[in-house]
Structure 1
């Protein structure tokens, strides 16, 4: 079993070309940092894929929220918010540890479904994370717990976000 993450820039089409290039550059740097910081957790490195999307494959959920917070806080420095779809499942294609694009299987299918569901219902813009693990009896509880945490984080002040960034660092 693997944990796949697919991330996406919220409202990317509303960002002008110059700011979008800046966002892609910052996101790319953030993903490189994640790949270097968590080599023992990552099965396939986080990679920019198509448009304003990125993905990566993890061995487990260890450091998952730290990884998402690191990427999110980096992007918030330029006013860009992200969505994260998390899927649990198997992989049916060969895994290239240096490049997560092209890898396929239920883990990524579940992450894609989670991302699509999140874009339809993000709790009025306050929820940025959704989990999908088909047939797991606790999936609804996990998503409700994540949504509660995301709601609380949405209300944080800049100093609270700065404190989180310092704790992660």
Structure 2
């Protein structure tokens, strides 16, 4: 998986360059991390990754917060950047893994319970499908234009 992820980094960074504040990078050996300029494309990016690497059941942790590393250089990858948003994202990933969710959110204030409730509903629906149904749904979502 790690070799495939490494080969995909430049393509992901090129495809989503307008959405990235810090480029995709590999963390924990088999995880991807990026810093988005907004949450607008989270769904599209998550499903594109899920489609491209269909052999894994991806978990997406979205953290909101400040960044303490200067992004002025403009060439950093997300693993080189630090700040509370990354700590929130890591906590979201851990919660999603624990609760068998596909998406989890931390640091979103009053909206967080609603976001996680919708994510929980989506996970229940997703896991009720067969592997073939999940693959078809992921293919359909990834084939749609953003």
TM-score (norm 1): 0.73
The total of aligned residue pairs comes to 140
Report the counterpart of residue 84 of structure 1 in structure 2: 60
In the alignment, what sits opposite 2:104?
130
Whole-angstrom CA distance in 1 between matches of 2:138 and 2:95: 26
Q: Give the Cα separation in 2 of the matches to 1:160 and 1:86.
A: 22
Give unmatched runs, 5+ long, in structure 2. Answer: none
List gaps (5 residues or longer) in structure 1.
Answer: 1-22
Instruction: Give the distance between the partners of 2:2 and 2:29, measured in 1 at CA.
Output: 9
Query: Residue 142 and residue 102 in structure 1: after superposition, are their counterparts in 2 closer, same or farther (change >3 A)?
Result: same
Q: Please list every run of at least 4 consecutive aligned residues from structure 1 whose deviation after the TM superposition is greater than 4 angstroms.
A: none
Instruction: Give 1:147's aligned residue.
Output: 120
Query: Which deviates further from its counterpart, 143-152 or 36-45?
Result: 143-152
Higher relative contact order (CA 8 A, sep 6+): 1
Spell out, residue by residue over 1:137-168, the C-alpha distance to the aligned partner (whole angstroms, 9 max, x if none): 12111111122223333426143333223215
Higher helix share: 2
Change (3 A) 1:150 1:115: same
1: CA distance between counterparts of 2:10 and 2:125?
Answer: 28
Residue among 9, 12, 16 paired with 1:34: 12
Structural RMSD (CA):
2.0
